[in-house]
Chains A and B, each alone.
Chain A
Amino acid sequence: MAGEKIVIMTVENNDFFRRTFCEILKMYLPTITIIEKGEGDPEGVLDLVRKNRPLVIFMDIRLPGANGLELTKIIRREFSDQVVWIYTSYDLPEYREMAEKIGVNRFLLKDALSGAEIAAFIRAEATRKKERKTGREKKSR
């Protein structure tokens, strides 16, 4: 687990927030690689997902271009098992409803979660992924 490389992606248009988010995560997870995208450009986002296959995508909702919920739908068409966590300031029922419909894995609020909590979620996801992988290997044996 220690040497395992974690790659995550953030789609967030507020540069200051994105930069701080990356710095804080690196404090907790020094070996993490973070792919950054600053706008809701579907082709650009898909391209980065294809190239990096991130463990998790942190997806803002309000973005210039396509919004985060639309982007999630687009990503899921090609990568049905891609883990996407909505990460927004807006706890609106219509967003939650839509997120649930699309099958977003988590709905996280920017005003609620500390860096330590987010890092813990990422670690848990990495463990889950590893377990899924070993589970599959056992089955195929």
Chain B
Amino acid sequence: MGNSEEKVRIVIAEDHTVLREGLKHILQTHPGWEVVNEANDGLEAIRMVETLKPDLILMDLSMPRMNGIGAIQNIKRINPATRVLVLTVHNTEEWVLAAFKAGADGYALKDIQGDGLHRAIEDVLSGKMYISPGIGEMIIEGYLDGRKTLKTTSWETLTQREREILKMIAEGYKNQEIADYLQIAKATVVSHRNNLMKKLDLHSTSSLTAYAMEKGLIAK
């Protein structure tokens, strides 16, 4: 028991079962690490952080129901000591910035090779920030170009909760199902849905779905 307590305790949040298995396999080759649990989506990840207080969470960004960005925000609030390393296929500035804004400590792309993942985890555990090669350059270029000129898009006016609900609407969940999942009242979901439509000037579920796709909340 003493030994396992000294190990770095890791949670994997990833919706694809085979990937979870693969990641677990890779992580367990390191004698000092232990995968203590695996989450299917963002909400599960939050609950696991609440109960297990892991040292690190390996976080996919696009997951069903609640995605990684929403989860990171909550995780950092619940247990700031849990280091968050994003592991994703998304290499666009929008995702990278959203992840760091939410509180991520590292951002690794899924094309990471060899012992790259081990290094990324070690960096993040030692308190450094990790960014996959390529991504860092892209972001710096973005800043230098002044592209992050703060024009407020309708997307930026959405609250995190509205984005979560938008994602679930786009995934085909009904109001009641969304309410049950997020443990809020159905009327609250309806009012979020109305706000979304107003803010985005979209007036049907199918146009909300198309918008969510465009924003990468669900895959095209």
In the complex, the answer to whether A17 meets B17 with C-beta atoms within 8 Å is no
A21 vs B22: C-alpha distance when bound (angstroms): 8
Instruction: Give the A interface residue count (CB, 8 A).
Output: 20
**Cβ 8 A contact of A111, one of B16, B22, B172:** B16
The complex places the Cα of A111 from the Cα of B17 at a distance, in Å, of 5
Across chains A and B, the number of contacting residue pairs, with CB separation under 8 Å, is 53
Q: Report if B219 contacts A (CB, 8 A).
A: yes
A-chain residues with CB within 8 Å of residue B81 when the two chains form the complex: none
Cα A115 to Cα B16 with chains together (Å): 11
Contact for B19 among A20, A62, A118, CB less than 8 A: A20
Say yes or no: B18 contacts A20, CB within 8 Å: yes
Does A2 sit within 8 A of B, measured CB to CB?
no
Q: Does A105 contact B (CB under 8 A)?
A: no
Query: Considering the chains assembled together, what is the distance between the CA atoms of A62 and B89 in angstroms?
Result: 15
Question: Inside 8 A of A112's CB, which chain B residues have their CB?
Answer: 17
> Is the CB–CB distance between B111 and A15 below 8 Å?
yes
A113's contact among B18, B110, B220, by CB below 8 Å, is which? B18
A74 in contact (CB, < 8 A): no
Which residues 95-115 of A have a CB within 8 angstroms of B? 110-115
Chain A residues positioned under 8 Å from B19 (CB to CB): 16-17, 20
Distance from A70 Cβ to chain B, minimum over Cβ atoms (Å):
16
Chain A window 80-101, contacts with chain B (Cβ cutoff 8 Å), 1 for yes, 0 for no: 0000000001101000000000
Query: Which residues on A sit within 8 Å (CB–CB) of B21?
Result: 20, 24, 114-115
Interface SS of B by simple majority: loop
Inter-subunit contact B22/A20 (CB<8 Å): yes
Question: Is A134 part of the binding interface, using a Cβ–Cβ cutoff of 8 Å?
Answer: no
Q: In the bound complex, how far is the Cα of B64 from the Cα of A14, in angstroms?
A: 17
Bound complex: CA A89 to CA B16 (Å): 8
Query: What mask results when residues 24 to 60 of chain A are scored 1 for a CB within 8 Å of chain B, else 0?
Result: 1001000000000000000000000000000000000
A114 touches B18 (CB 8 A): yes
Most A CB contacts (10 A, CB to CB) among B16, B21, B23, B25 go to B16
Q: Which B residues, 7 to 50, have Cβ-Cβ distances below 8 Å to chain A?
A: 15-19, 21-23, 25, 40
Closest A residue to B64 using CB positions: A111
Say yes or no: is A131 at the interface (Cβ < 8 Å to chain B).
Answer: no
* Binary per-residue interface labels of chain A (111-123) against chain B in the complex, 1 for a CB within 8 Å, 0 otherwise: 1111100100000
Residue among B17, B18, B111, B112 having the largest count of chain A Cβ atoms under 10 Å: B18
By the criterion CB–CB under 8 Å, are B111 and A62 in contact?
A: no
Chain A residues in 8 Å Cβ range of B64:
111
Name which of A20, A89, A110, A114 has the most chain B CB atoms within 10 A of its CB.
A20
- Is A78 an interface position by the 8 A CB rule? no
Q: Are A17 and B16 in contact (CB under 8 A)?
A: yes
- CB within 8 Å of B: which residues of A? 14-17, 20-21, 23-24, 27, 62, 89-90, 92, 110-115, 118
11 A-B residue pairs with Cβ-Cβ distance under 8 Å, sorted by A, are: A16-B110, A17-B19, A17-B110, A20-B21, A23-B22, A24-B22, A62-B220, A89-B219, A110-B18, A113-B17, A118-B18
